Amino acid sequence: MSLRTRLDAELDQFKRDGVYKRLNYLASPQDSRVQMEGRGEVVILSSNNYLGLCNVPEVIAAGKRALDRWWAANPPSRTRAAGTRTRGCAPRCSASRIS
């Protein structure tokens, strides 16, 4: 039995057992109630938006300005890259993902 066949069989068994986990994608901005892809409207209880500021234009603009000024990086990845190439492109890359 090939690795691919074995893995497919295991995934199918997970689905039959009801233990297969899939990512849930939001189809609307994050809030206490959201539109979840494939599920409709749901209540989110594990949001990082506990202050309700995720969709406030001034907060979004301030976040973009902070990224432009100070950038952001995952410290382990910066360590692996010796802090060289990451520093030069981080503000541009981060801001472009947000816009």
In a domain, 37, yes or no: yes
- Amino acid in position 46: S
Tens digit of each residue's pLDDT (9 = 90 or more) over 32-77: 788 988 889 998 877 677 677 878 899 989 989 998 888 876 665 5
In a domain, 40, yes or no: yes
CA dist list (Å): 35 to 40, 54, 64: 5, 15, 25
Per-residue pLDDT at 2: 93
In a domain, 91, yes or no: yes
Q: Which residues, including other chains, have CB under 8 Å from residue 1's CB and lie 6 or more apart?
A: none
**Which range of residues forms the domain containing residue 87?**
56-99
34 and 48 both lie in a single domain: yes
65 and 94 both lie in a single domain: yes
In a domain, 7, yes or no: no
Tens digit of each residue's pLDDT (9 = 90 or more) over 1-25: 899 999 999 999 999 999 998 888 8
Alpha-carbon gap, residue 57 to 53, rounded angstroms: 9
